[in-house]
Amino acid sequence: MPTAASRPDPGHQLVVVANRLPVDTRTLPDGATEWVTSPGGLVTAMESVMRTVESGAWVGWAGSPGEPPEPFEADGMSLYPVRLEQEDIERYYEGFSNATLWPLYHDVIVDPEFHRTWWGSYVGTNRRFAREAAAVAEEHGTVWVHDYQLQLVPRMIRDERSDVRIGFFNHIPFPPVELFSQLPKRNQILRGLLGADLVGFQRESDAQNFVAAVRKLLGYHVDGQTISVPGLGAAPVREVVAQTFPISIDSASISALTEDPEVRERAVQLRKDLGDPQKIVLGVDRLDYTKGIRHRLKAWGELLDDGSVDPQDTVMVQVATPSRERVEAYKQLRDEVELTVGRINGDHSSIGRPAVSYQHRSFDRRDMTALFMTADVVLVTALRDGMNLVAKEYVASRPDLQGVLVLSEFAGAADELRAAVTVNPHDIDDLKAAILRALTMPPEEQEESMRSLRHQVMENDVQAWAHAFLHELEQIGRPEQVAKPVIRLTGDEPSDPEAVESALRDFATVPRILVASDFDGVLAPIVADRDAVQPDPEALMALRDLSEMPGVAVALVSGRALSNLDSHTSMPSSVVLVGSHGAEVGALPPWMQAEVLDSAALTMSPEKEDLLAAITGNLNRISRAHPGAEVETKPAAAVLHTRNARGRGSINATEAALEYAVTLPDVTVTPGKEVVEFSVVHTSKGAAIDALARASAADAWLYLGDDVTDESVFSQLGEGDVGIKVGGGDTAARLRIEDIDAVRSLLQRLVELRGPQG
Q: Name the residue nearer to ligand ADQ (CB basis): 40 or 71.
A: 40
Q: Name the residue nearer to ligand ADQ (CB basis): 14 or 45.
A: 45
Give the span between the Cα atoms of 168 and 494, in whole angstroms: 44
Q: Which residues bind ligand ADQ (CB under 6 A)?
A: 39-42, 44-45, 171-172, 247, 284, 286, 319, 321, 362-363, 368, 385-390, 393
Q: Name the residue nearer to ligand ADQ (CB basis): 172 or 743.
A: 172
- Residue 76 buriedness (CB in 10 A; 0-12 / 13-18 / 19+): exposed
Give the span between the Cα atoms of 609 and 360, in whole angstroms: 50
Q: Which residue is nearest to ligand ADQ (CB)?
A: 41
Half-sphere exposure of 602 (CA within 13 A, CB side): 28
CB of 412: closest distance to ligand ADQ in angstroms? Answer: 6
CB of 362: closest distance to ligand ADQ in angstroms? Answer: 4
Ranges of H-type helices in 202-290: 204-213, 251-257, 261-273
Q: Name the residue nearer to ligand ADQ (CB basis): 45 or 747.
A: 45
Give strand pairing partners of 280: 315
CB of 290: closest distance to ligand ADQ in angstroms? Answer: 7
Q: Name the residue nearer to ligand ADQ (CB basis): 44 or 381.
A: 44
Q: Report yes or no: 438 and 403 within 8 Å, Cβ to Cβ.
A: no
Give the span between the Cα atoms of 136 and 125, in whole angstroms: 17
Active site residue 385: yes
Active site residue 115: no
CB of 384: closest distance to ligand ADQ in angstroms? Answer: 9
Task: Indicate which residue of 88, 146, 147, 171 is catalytic.
Answer: 171
Q: What is the DSSP string of 629-641?
A: -EEEE-SSEEEEE
Task: Indicate which residue of 88, 206, 285, 385 is catalytic.
Answer: 385
Sheet strand arrangement including 637-641: 630-633, 637-641, 675-679, 668-671
Cβ contacts of residue 291 below 8 Å, gap of 6+?
A: 285, 381, 382, 383, 385
Q: Max CA-CA distance within the chain?
A: 103
CB of 352: closest distance to ligand ADQ in angstroms? Answer: 24
User: Rounded to the nearest 10 degrees, what angle do helices 186-193 and 204-213 cross at?
Assistant: 120
Judging by DSSP bridges, how do beta strands 735-737 and 722-726 pair with one another? parallel
Q: Name the residue nearer to ligand ADQ (CB basis): 127 or 360.
A: 360
Give the span between the Cα atoms of 573 and 205, in whole angstroms: 42
Q: Report yes or no: 155 and 37 within 8 Å, Cβ to Cβ.
A: no
CB of 462: closest distance to ligand ADQ in angstroms? Answer: 9
Nearest to 514 by CA among 638, 688, 640, 355: 688
Q: Name the residue nearer to ligand ADQ (CB basis): 98 or 388.
A: 388
Judging by DSSP bridges, how do beta strands 23-27 and 33-37 pair with one another? antiparallel
CB of 106: closest distance to ligand ADQ in angstroms? Answer: 8
Cβ contacts of residue 2 below 8 Å, gap of 6+?
A: 35, 72, 73, 74, 79
CB of 293: closest distance to ligand ADQ in angstroms? Answer: 11
Q: Name the residue nearer to ligand ADQ (CB basis): 466 or 562.
A: 466
SS3 (DSSP) at 509: coil
Distances (CA, A) of 22 to 47, 246, 411, 703: 8, 21, 25, 52
Buried b / exposed e over 98-123, threshold 16 CB at 10 Å, is bbbbbbbbbeebbebbbeeebbebbb
Q: End-to-end CA distance of the chain, in Å?
A: 81
CB of 327: closest distance to ligand ADQ in angstroms? Answer: 14
CB of 257: closest distance to ligand ADQ in angstroms? Answer: 12
Give strand pairing partners of 646: none
Q: Which residues are known to be catalytic? A: 171, 385
